[in-house]
Amino acid sequence: MSTTGSTVVDRGLEGVVVGSTDLSNVEGQIGRLTYRGYNIDDLAPNACFEEICHLFLYGRLPTKNELHELQNELATHRMLPEPLVMAMQRVPATAWPMDVMRTIASGLALFSPVNQTGDHVSNEHTAIELIAKMTTIVAAFDRIRRGLEPVEPRNDLSHARNFLYMRTGEEPSDVEAEALDTYFVLLADHSFNASTFSARVTASTKADMYAAVTAALATLKGEAHGGAPSAVMKMILEVGQPKRSETYVREVLARGARIMGMGHREYKVRDPRARHLEKMAKQLGETSDSRWYTIARALEDASQHVLQEQKPGRKIFANVEFYTAPTLAALGIPADEFTCLFACGRIAG
């Protein structure tokens, strides 16, 4: 908080209540995150992303038949309009993926079969369409910029498994599909964050859902929000090997910079999502390239050791962005697409 003349300014809306949400609740002092009352510690290992979508859309976890119906509905909406695919094919291969995602997501409004009246039926249809198509946008541009043809989505694969299939043209392993599915579950919602705030401000003007999501995607691009995992990956690459972790941490702190992915504005203990994502990163490392997880783990340990030494009593822990980097890297996803994957999970909320 700061004072300018007689005006009190709450920087970053710190402590200011601007709305309410029933989707998720963050209890930062004890490190608990819940989705509609369900603890993330129960959902992450037991629920799939489509179940979380149902929980958010309809207020409860689905029955087996309801889950099957939602999965089928998502599958039927995965294909992109051909003009939007052609638009991506005309985009420079050097374009930032998040810019492409935001632009194509906005373009979906041009082809919507539903009148954007703002009623429950049209909103539900648009929400399902956006959830279904986000991963298709990312996978399609990933291939296009590599000089490859997009792979059409399959209706018989889960949401996470289908995304990985569309990137490579090959079905992923169960470990890979589980890791990405867990990531989507963990990122599905997080109270009143910056991109959610942007979406709700836009929606409050009675703009349609496409406009609200486009605003949210623009906000998510920022390094202080959805761009953090890419910065963590850059740091991991700079470290290069686990034994350099402590030296690197000391160098960063000595020049007054911060260790990316360490600490969280709301959590005063370890981010509960980081624990589950670290497990996924470790499992992926056991079946493929373990270096990303190994370096990340060493960096977290070194950061805690050095900070405890320099500022006794101050505790700092890895947040979800920290272990996003080694998880997505192990899945073969380039760092400049990390924010896009963040959006593919957060679109549910």
- Residue 3: inside a domain, yes or no? no
Same domain, 187 and 52: yes
d(CA 59, CA 102): 28
- Catalytic residue from among 129, 176, 178, 321: 321
Question: What single DSSP character describes residue 222?
Answer: S
Same domain, 141 and 176: yes
Which residue reads 């190994």 in tokens? 294
Which residue reads 């996003």 in tokens? 324
Number of helices (H) and strands (E) in the chain: give both, helices first: 16, 5
CATH number for the domain that contains residue 177 = 1.10.580.10
User: Which domain, by its residues, includes 277?
Assistant: 228-330
State how far the alpha carbon of 97 is from the alpha carbons of 26, 149, 161, 236, in Å.
30, 16, 20, 21
State how far the alpha carbon of 145 is from the alpha carbons of 4, 100, 191, 234, 287, in Å.
48, 11, 34, 21, 28
- Residue 173: inside a domain, yes or no? yes
Distance of CA 219 to the CA centre of its chain: 13
- Residue 8: inside a domain, yes or no? no
- Asked if 321 is an active-site residue, the reply is yes
d(CA 349, CA 347): 5
Look up the pTM and report it: 0.92
State how far the alpha carbon of 260 is from the alpha carbons of 85, 92, 126, 234, 288, in Å.
35, 30, 35, 9, 25
Same domain, 292 and 144: no
Same domain, 195 and 325: no
- Asked if 264 is an active-site residue, the reply is yes
Structural domains counted in the chain:
2
- Catalytic residue from among 54, 159, 190, 264: 264
The pLDDT tens digits along the chain (349 residues) read: 555 555 665 666 666 656 678 899 999 889 999 999 999 999 999 999 999 999 999 999 999 999 999 999 999 999 999 999 999 999 999 999 999 999 999 999 999 877 666 778 888 999 999 999 999 999 999 999 999 999 999 999 999 999 999 999 999 999 999 999 999 999 999 988 888 899 999 999 999 999 999 999 999 998 777 788 999 999 999 999 999 999 999 999 999 998 999 888 788 888 999 999 999 999 999 988 899 999 999 999 999 999 889 888 888 889 999 999 999 999 999 999 999 999 999 999 8
Same domain, 203 and 232: no
Structure tokens at 57: 């859309």
- Residue 132: inside a domain, yes or no? yes
